[in-house]
Amino acid sequence: MNDPSKLDPPFLKEWMANYVCGVLGLDRAAFSTADRFDTYGLDSVEAVIMAGVMEEEFQVIVDPHRFFETPSIDEFTAAFTAPAA
């Protein structure tokens, strides 16, 4: 529990992309994980909700502030799964 470095980055990336596309009604095929959250409509309330769903799904603690610090799926995944310094 709560060791994000054990998560598989490509799997996490794919999960987040599917979640975001599902919630926001976006076309997964046309969606890029490099886009910033705010460009496709993940607003602050939805970001906090996603953090909660991720905690359930992956048994890790997700501080929603991290979505603002690393504001794309690619950036977030890289930072979140990096081994703790």
Give the footprint of another protein on this chain (CB under 8 A): 38-45, 48-49, 51-53, 55-56, 64, 68
* Least distance in angstroms from the C-beta of 41 to another protein: 4
Query: Which alpha helices (DSSP H) does the chain contain, by range?
Result: 9-24, 37-40, 44-58, 65-69, 73-81
Cβ proximity to another protein: between 8 and 68 the closer is 68
* Least distance in angstroms from the C-beta of 8 to another protein: 23
* Least distance in angstroms from the C-beta of 27 to another protein: 13
Q: Is 84 helix (H, G, I), strand (E, B) or coil?
A: coil
Say if residues 36 and 75 touch (Cβ distance below 8 Å): no
